[in-house]
């Protein structure tokens, strides 16, 4: 059981003192306590650096620079981290990305995966808008638009708007 102590720090119960993440949290053992300040290497944060810094201040964590990179607990990458990257091979720190994450960042690939899951589990995968792939689903898209707009008119609603996203590019580029 983990209880919240203060912003950004938790204390595990006596059975989890030897947990893998125990090095980067505040421990409470009897009356003695060990404080450890988490450090985050933001040298690769780029576009989200301002938000990361805001979070670091709120959590009372420390920002580290690239010259201390092997001594950070977390390595923050803004866009991608490749599994074969050996920059941090000697470090015990964690990276804020997980293996295969780059595949999920690609809109078309992620949408295809979600659509496949929606076919298998329609009730569980109803949390994102319907998606069509153009030009291969152009006719189905036209038919669906016609049907959706008919429902809109029948219910006296404003016509549904559809958003087109190109498969390439990101962050408005």
Please indicate, yes or no, if residue 137 is contained in any of the structural domains: no
Higher pLDDT, 128 or 98: 128
| Shared domain check, 51 and 24 | no
Q: What value does the mean pLDDT take over residues 77-105?
A: 65
Higher pLDDT, 73 or 116: 116
Q: What is the domain count for the chain?
A: 2
CA distances (Å), origin 111, targets 12, 82, 107, 129, 131: 39, 22, 6, 10, 7
| Shared domain check, 10 and 26 | yes
| Shared domain check, 49 and 12 | no
Q: Say if residue 169's pLDDT is above 90.
A: no
Higher pLDDT, 139 or 98: 139
Domain residues for the domain of 17 are 1-36
| Shared domain check, 92 and 43 | yes
Question: pLDDT tens across 121-149, in order?
Answer: 999 999 988 899 889 999 999 999 999 99
| Shared domain check, 64 and 48 | yes
Query: For residue 28, which phi and psi values (nearest 5 degrees)?
Result: -125, 115
Task: Report the C-alpha gap between 46 and 76 in whole angstroms.
Answer: 9
Please indicate, yes or no, if residue 140 is contained in any of the structural domains: no
| Shared domain check, 21 and 62 | no
| Shared domain check, 94 and 43 | yes
Q: Say if residue 7's pLDDT is above 60.
A: no
| Shared domain check, 79 and 51 | yes
Question: pLDDT tens across 42-79, in order?
Answer: 888 888 889 999 999 999 999 987 655 567 888 887 76
Q: Is 51 in contact with 100 (CB distance < 8 Å)?
A: no
| Shared domain check, 55 and 26 | no
Q: What value does the mean pLDDT take over residues 82-90?
A: 56
Q: Say if residue 9's pLDDT is above 50.
A: no
Please indicate, yes or no, if residue 166 is contained in any of the structural domains: no
| pLDDT at 3 (0 to 100) | 31
| Shared domain check, 44 and 7 | no
| pLDDT at 144 (0 to 100) | 95
Please indicate, yes or no, if residue 8 is contained in any of the structural domains: yes
């Amino acid at each position: 059981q983990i209880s919240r102590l203060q912003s950004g720090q938790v204390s595990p119960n006596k059975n989890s003192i030897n947990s893998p993440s125990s090095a980067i949290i505040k421990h409470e053992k009897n009356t003695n306590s060990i404080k450890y300040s988490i450090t985050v290497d933001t040298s690769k944060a780029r576009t989200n650096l301002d938000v990361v810094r805001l979070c670091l201040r709120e959590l009372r964590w420390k920002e580290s620079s690239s010259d201390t990179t092997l001594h950070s607990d977390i390595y923050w990458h803004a866009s991608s981290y490749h599994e074969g990257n050996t920059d941090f091979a000697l470090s015990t720190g964690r990276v804020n990305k997980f293996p295969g994450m780059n595949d999920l960042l690609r809109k078309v690939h992620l949408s295809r995966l979600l659509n496949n899951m929606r076919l298998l589990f329609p009730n569980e995968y109803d949390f994102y808008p319907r998606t069509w792939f153009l030009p291969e689903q152009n006719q189905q898209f036209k038919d669906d638009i016609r049907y959706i707009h008919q429902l809109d008119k029948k219910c006296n609603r404003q016509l549904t708007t559809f958003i087109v996203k190109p498969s390439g590019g990101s962050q408005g580029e």
